[in-house]
Structure 1
Amino acid sequence: MQTLFKQQSHTLSGGAVLSGVTEQQLILKVVSGRVWVTFEGQPEDHWLRAGRSLALLPGRMVVVEADPGNSRISLSGLPQRHHGRPGILRALLARLRGPGFHPATSVS
């Protein structure tokens, strides 16, 4: 098992596992392949394929496992929020996402 979050990009062979606790908000993006992701505080697990991403909140244990075959993921910090009208933007996004949206599960 490798430690997640120590570098910005990881290449995983099938069945390889990464884990760690997030220190800041991050975006996990699948560059190639397919991975299974689970993290503390969320009842659902996530399957992500190439091109999909997931927001990771700080202070949570995260486990990422590659599906059979090689997978590559990248990790990056979330962009800084624009301070002009954050309340309006949040309200608009909430309406677009609909009920039942969980902020840690749907970033694309």
Structure 2
Amino acid sequence: MRKLLANESLTIGAGQAMSVTAPVAQTLQITQGRVWVTVSGQGDDYWLSAGQFLNVAADSHIVIEAYKGNSVVQVQQQATRLPAVSARAGFSKPLTAGRTPATC
């Protein structure tokens, strides 16, 4: 299983899944396509499209699957640590350096 790195971009092919861990609290920003995301320990799964994001806590195990077309997920490290079982989705403008996503 691979670890997510801050400021990396993940490209996931249509119908493909990726299993990753977040070593620190991170934001997954969808910049292209639509993905299904599940986070271990969470009761809900998430459907996210371009322009949406998901905040995940440190040490989270995450599975991301692209739906229908290629999807791109931008990873951004969060400035503050989230609670151990926290995941929160929302909408935001694309991430830029030094900027955190809006909360919902």
TM-score when scaled to structure 1? 0.71
CA distance in 2, matches of 1:48, 1:4: 21
CA apart distance, 1:3 = 3.2
Q: Indicate the percent of aligned positions where both proteins have the same amino acid.
A: 31
Larger fraction in helix: 1
CA apart distance, 1:31 = 0.3
Change (3 A) 1:31 1:4: farther
Amino acid at match of 1:28: L
Q: 2:104 aligned with 1:105, yes or no? A: no
Answer with 1 or 2: which has the greater Rg.
1
Tell me the residue number matched to 2:4.
Answer: 5
Give CA-to-partner distance per residue, 1:12-64, whole Å, 9 cap, x none.
11011111221100000100100000011111000000000000101121000
CA distance in 1, matches of 2:36, 2:47: 5
CA apart distance, 1:104 = 1.4
Deviation beyond 6 Å, 4+ runs, structure 1: none
CA apart distance, 1:107 = 4.0
User: Which runs of no fewer than 5 residues in structure 2 stay unpaired?
Assistant: 92-104
Tell me the residue number matched to 1:40.
Answer: 40
Amino acid at match of 2:88: T
Contact between 2:52 and 2:89, CA under 8 Å: does it hold in 1? Answer: no
Larger fraction in strand: 2
- Residues 1-108 of structure 1 aligned to structure 2 (within 5 Å): 3=2, 5-6=4-5, 8-79=8-79, 103-108=86-91
- Kindly tell me the number of residue pairs found equivalent between the two proteins: 87
